[in-house]
Amino acid sequence: MGDLLSAGPVTVDLPVPAAVLAVGAHPDDIEFGCGATLAKWAAAGSELHYLVLTDGSKGSWRPDADIRQLVADRRQECHDAAAVVDGMPHRTTPPPDRVFFLERVDGELENGIDERRAVARLIRLVRPTVVLGHDPWRRYRLHPDHRAAGFVTVDALVGARDRNFFTELGLEPHRPESLLLWEADLPNHLEDARGFEEVKIEALLCHHSQLESTMGLGDLAPSSGSSGPESVPPGSEFASKVLRQLATHGSLAGYPSAEAFRLMTDL
């Protein structure tokens, strides 16, 4: 959760999209980048689709971590988080055609032709009104997967919209109406998050494997008998950080809570 830099005038609140595709580098990136926005749209009737590009296999600080189990755990965490964002009953898994995994090795994601073809194929299949992803042009971005994921998404969108790209797929081209890039240095669009802050936090806390590392919650990770994120105090410092970021983003347009993006509509 980086700090927001300078921004010019912003627009607010796209029309509720019929279908949405969110593309994240790692299993928790979508919830960090746009969890409240997706929850708001799901509540209004949008069909959400999630694509995670890497397997999350670097997501542990423990030298003795069972990597195969970590990858399996993180995949399940994605399903659990998506169920929360979709507003489904606790731990109800969304339909299998709604959460997708490209399974590239964590830390080794490349913006290659195979990756672009796979994402373009998904765009043509689910035909989203809005695509969301990492802003690849963010300055001083350290993690290579976040850069690569942003460029894969942007380049795949071009491939999905133009008929002479990836003709071997046998799928009709599709041009989304809008592209929203999170983590932008210069955001120009806000989505009101009021009423969906706790959904974002609950979805993030579904990523139990990341409580110690990414979220800094240490030994607050659920015990073996825990049923899930309710074991983490709702007033935790992590939740406070999420709320502060939403308030900072909202301040760009006088909203008490929002998620900020770079909006592109000339697609």
- Dump pLDDT digits (tens) for 58-108: 999 888 999 999 999 999 999 999 999 999 755 555 566 799 999 999 999
Residue 76 burial (C-beta neighbours within 10 Å; 0-12, 13-18, 19+): middle
* Residue 10 in this model has a pLDDT that exceeds 60: yes
Q: Please tell me the predicted confidence (pLDDT) of residue 89.
A: 57
Q: Please tell me the predicted confidence (pLDDT) of residue 259.
A: 98
More confident residue, 223 or 36: 36
Q: For residues 53 and 70, what is the distance between their CA atoms, to the nearest angstrom?
A: 16
| Cβ–Cβ < 8 Å for 222, 181 | no
Point out which residues pair with 199 in neighbouring strands.
Answer: none
Q: Please tell me the predicted confidence (pLDDT) of residue 227.
A: 39
Rounded percentage of the chain residues whose pLDDT exceeds 90: 80
Q: Please tell me the predicted confidence (pLDDT) of residue 160.
A: 98
Where does the pLDDT of residue 26 fall: very low under 50, low under 70, confident under 90, or very high at 90 and above?
very high
Q: Please tell me the predicted confidence (pLDDT) of residue 93.
A: 58
Q: Please tell me the predicted confidence (pLDDT) of residue 217.
A: 76
Average confidence score pLDDT of the chain: 90
- Dump pLDDT digits (tens) for 206-240: 999 998 878 877 644 443 333 344 444 545 889 99
* Residue 5 in this model has a pLDDT that exceeds 60: no
- The CATH class of the 11-264 domain is alpha beta
Rounded percentage of the chain residues whose pLDDT exceeds 70: 87
Residue 117 burial (C-beta neighbours within 10 Å; 0-12, 13-18, 19+): middle
